[in-house]
Chain A
């Protein structure tokens, strides 16, 4: 039993269809549950008031925005090295989900920044890198859309993803160098943040529902990618069937 068995589209479809209903239920339950917990059952922060609760959307979305690109990078590598079509299609399927996550993170960040920092947008390193990441996603999706031959498109976008990843990391550090930030550091995962022995941390009251939301968003991403990959496989299969039908009609 190796993971490469799932590179067979048929095997992939049958397995993913089996696990997807459970994943849907679990991801929606976690996301909705985490959000309700976060929105209604946590106290207001004494300085930030109720705006602090946007963290329950903002942080998981930002996390998934980065992980989606990372997943696309891995899938592209698998496509380039082992040429499994499912992998290329999974990368294609993940991109729109990733771009929406990036957009959510940017928009919720702006909504939070307006009352807290007094501005919708600041050219802060984190904000700017996310904007650049958003542009990378747009270029990647646009390239998929522009090329007709599916294999050429898969190859070209895979290489773009590899080169783009390097430049995305470069941009991240370039931006850090270019402007010092307003955005707080990563306070959720910092060592001791959950155990509660550092000064600057997300309080446990907020941390637990936040982790639930993160889990929910991660599962939601997973199930959306599985679903969209299945759709892509079927779309390609229909195309092949139609082409065969035309051939037989001509013959």
Chain B
């Protein structure tokens, strides 16, 4: 398992920068927002938590097809499926690798981008915590979507159409938590619900993803 994780991480770091791409995309989305809505400090600081969440979500979405498509193309997915490791574990590792290369950097850089959007000082901690809790769910749900569309030639658009509705609850609770944190309200309820969604997704969705992969590998 660790070998597979290291392999995926190395591939993501080396092969043509899937690693930096998500981050750059996140940066550029955040930079584009003030151009679109105007530079007023007050407005920006009010919408900043939502913008950061949407940016993270889109950056995550962008990198989803890399989770499985490359392994599918060169046939290593077939090898992995016949390996002694259960497919559920492989899928979990793949999600974990995606989270480490995409989710975690997004979480770390989000407070920095918050400066650009005049994020209120009280919100830095909460945007960080909410993304930290929410991005694992994004990765795992995304892996499920990637597994569904892995056999398709031009699956990118379909992948977004399938995955984005599944992201709705995570986005709502995550952004709500960051927003409440920013305005100093109690964040307990959305935080617990967000953590619950993440934990349940991580625990259950790999089974669905593995089932889907088995069907696709048939």
Contacts and interface: CB of A to CB of B under 8 A. Distances in A.
Partners in one complex: yes
Interface of A: 132, 135-136, 138-139, 142-143, 146-147, 152, 155-156, 159-160, 162-164, 167-168, 170-171, 173-175, 177-178
A178 B177 CA distance: 10
B23 interface: no
B172 A146 contact: no
B148 A171 contact: no
23 contacts: A135-B165, A136-B165, A139-B158, A139-B162, A139-B165, A146-B149, A147-B151, A152-B218, A156-B212, A159-B148, A160-B162, A163-B205, A164-B166, A170-B168, A173-B169, A174-B169, A174-B172, A174-B173, A175-B168, A177-B173, A177-B189, A178-B172, A178-B176
Nearest to A152: B215
B126 interface: no
A171 B208 contact: no
A162 B212 contact: no
B165 A167 contact: yes
Given A160-B162, A174-B168, 18 more contacts: A132-B165, A135-B161, A139-B165, A146-B149, A146-B155, A146-B158, A152-B218, A156-B215, A159-B208, A159-B215, A164-B165, A164-B166, A171-B168, A171-B172, A174-B172, A175-B172, A177-B193, A178-B176
B216 interface: yes
Interface of B: 144, 148-149, 151-152, 155, 158, 161-162, 164-166, 168-169, 172-173, 176, 189-190, 193, 197, 205, 208, 211-212, 215-216, 218
**What's the dominant secondary structure at chain A's contact region?**
helix
